Every structure is written in C-alpha cells, then in structure tokens.
Structure 1
Amino acid sequence: MSEKKSESSYEDKQDHIPSWKTPEMEWFANVYAGKEYNIEFTIPEFTAVCPKTGLPDFGSIFIEYIPRERCVELKSLKEYMMSYRNVGIFHENVVNKILEDFVSAVDPLYVKVVGDYNVRGGVKTIVKREYKA
C-alpha cells in the first residue's frame, strides 16, 4: 500500500507575512537609557481574520519589553495593531510578525509578545514568543 502524503490546504498562503509591509512603529528617545525597567502594553481588542473561514479572530495582545535607546510611541503602536484588522493571518504568524517588527523598530534589550485569543471551536489559543538581545 502506498502512503498518501498529506498536503496542507494553506500551502504558500502565509508565505508573504514576513515581508508584509505594516505601518511603522514610531519611537522616541529613552532618556533613562542605561536603567533597566519594564514597559507593558495590553491591546485587549485585537482583531485579525481567520484565513480558513474569513471570520474575525478576537483576542488580546500583550507586549512586555525592556527598552534600550528607544521607546515605542503609543499612537503608532495602536495604528500598527489596527492594520491587522482585515488581514487573513494565523495566530502564530501574528505573534511572530509583531515581535519581529517591534524588534526592528525599537531594538529592545528584551521583548515578549503574547497573543491570547478568544475560544474558537472549543479551542483556546495562546501564542508566546520572546527575544533577548
């Protein structure tokens, strides 16, 4: 008997995400650079689109970071988060994309991004990623 290789119906559908051009996160100079302190943000009404169903995915995004020379500016962070609203993207890709864009913009000493999504189909999803310089 030959084994049938399982293929994903999502093949190549998320390949563009790492290079997807999102709004820039702006920053301001950290006048306490050299002092180690944490900054935490909660985005409680995060929305993206399920790439399978086309329905909205709701959740909260948590960002904790230790700044170096730059701190993220909040209005631009809000606009950045809103850019996901109509994008078909997996939960895992959301968290990875946010972390990579955040590191690129702010160059923190440390950052952790958590995507805590509402239950869908009886499944609760929490995705976490950390970066340490």
Structure 2
Amino acid sequence: MTEATTDISGLTLLGHHAQAPASPEAAVLERVPNPHPGVQYLVRFAAPEFTSLCPMTGQPDFAHLVIDYIPQDWLVESKSLKLYLGAFRNHGAFHEACTVSIARRLVETLSPHWLRIGGYWYPRGGIPIDVFYQTGQAPAGVWVPDQGVQPYRGRG
C-alpha cells in the first residue's frame, strides 16, 4: 500500500472522542482512500438496530438497514457512519425519507460505482414498510449477495 491509502490525518472522528450529532444534517460523514481503486468489490454495512422517530407521533421506529456499495476512490469511514446513523435516533421522518436520504448522502460523499440500501422496517400500525433504493444496475462480475434479511412474518 502507498502512504496515501493509509493517511488518516484528515479524519476528525476516528481515534478521537466524538459527541453524538444533533441531527443527520449536522453529522459529519468522513471518507478514506480506497486501497484498491482499480478493483471492483462490494462493501456491506448492516445496522440491525437503526432507530428514528415517527414524525407524527414521536414514537420510535426501528429498522434493520443493509447498505451495499462498490467503491470507486473512497470508502466511508465506519465510525462516522455509525455516528451519522445514530443521529437519526431523535430525528422525525418517515421510513422512506430516512432510507433514501441515507443512500443519497453516501452517494454524495463517496461517488461509488454503485450503491443500494435495504431498509427493513418493523411494523408501524401493524404494517411493515420496507424501503429499497439503488443507483442503477450492479456492475457485471461483482458478487452481490442477497441482503439476508427475512421479510417480516409476524407471529406466523
């Protein structure tokens, strides 16, 4: 590896104490150089305990998020992603708004070859709402496994 791929000097969160962001908009989402920029491979993050608030009732909503992307020049720094996702804990937004805004922020920050997110939301009002977004077709030749989250089955 070259020095450029291991340089983390510009990061403000990794290795430092960081306060929880007040909102997703205030959260800092950091990136690091991709150590394999000429190779297409998949990166997956799973957040099985994602929470946000219902914008109408203020009650908590829970989801299992799976984020898959094929990096180009940048990788998302995982501590900043964790803090960004945690910033939704006190954020009121519908499932669709949370899921798609996370995807769009990652695309804006990373400019990946490809990205998809599966938001597997637990029932609200007795109805599970799953939200899926992707930037287009995955490049040929890259292994993109199933996200592995079972559909909600209730007590059945």
- Sort the TM-score into its range (normalised by shorter chain): 0.7 to 0.9
Q: What amino acid does structure 2 have at the position aligned with 1:53?
A: T
Q: In structure 2, how many angstroms separate the alpha carbons of the residues matched to 1:21 and 1:122?
A: 30
Q: In structure 1, how many angstroms separate the alpha carbons of the residues matched to 2:123 and 2:50?
A: 14
Q: In structure 2, how many angstroms separate the alpha carbons of the residues matched to 1:21 and 1:43?
A: 19
**Could you give the per-residue CA deviations for residues 83-133 of structure 1, whole angstroms, max 9, x where no partner exists?**
100011000001111011001111100000111111222201100000149
Query: Residue in 2 aligned with 1:107?
Result: 111
TM-score normalised to the size of structure 2?
0.70
Question: For structure 2, which runs of at least 5 residues remain unmatched after alignment?
Answer: 1-23, 138-156
8 Å contact from structure 1 (residues 109, 132) kept in 2 = no
Query: Residue in 2 aligned with 1:52?
Result: 56
User: Comparing both chains, which one has the higher relative contact order based on Cα–Cα distances under 8 Å and sequence gaps of 6 or more?
Assistant: 1
- Percent identity, aligned pairs only, is 36
Q: How does 1:2-13 map to 2 (within 5 A)?
A: none
Indicate the RMSD between aligned Cα atoms, in angstroms.
Answer: 1.4
Within the candidate set 88, 100, 105, 1:84 is matched to: 88
More strand by share: 1
Q: In structure 2, how many angstroms separate the alpha carbons of the residues matched to 1:99 and 1:22?
A: 16
**Could you give the per-residue CA deviations for residues 49-72 of structure 1, whole angstroms, max 9, x where no partner exists?**
001211000111110000000001
Q: In structure 2, how many angstroms separate the alpha carbons of the residues matched to 1:106 and 1:22?
A: 18
TM-score normalised to the size of structure 1?
0.81
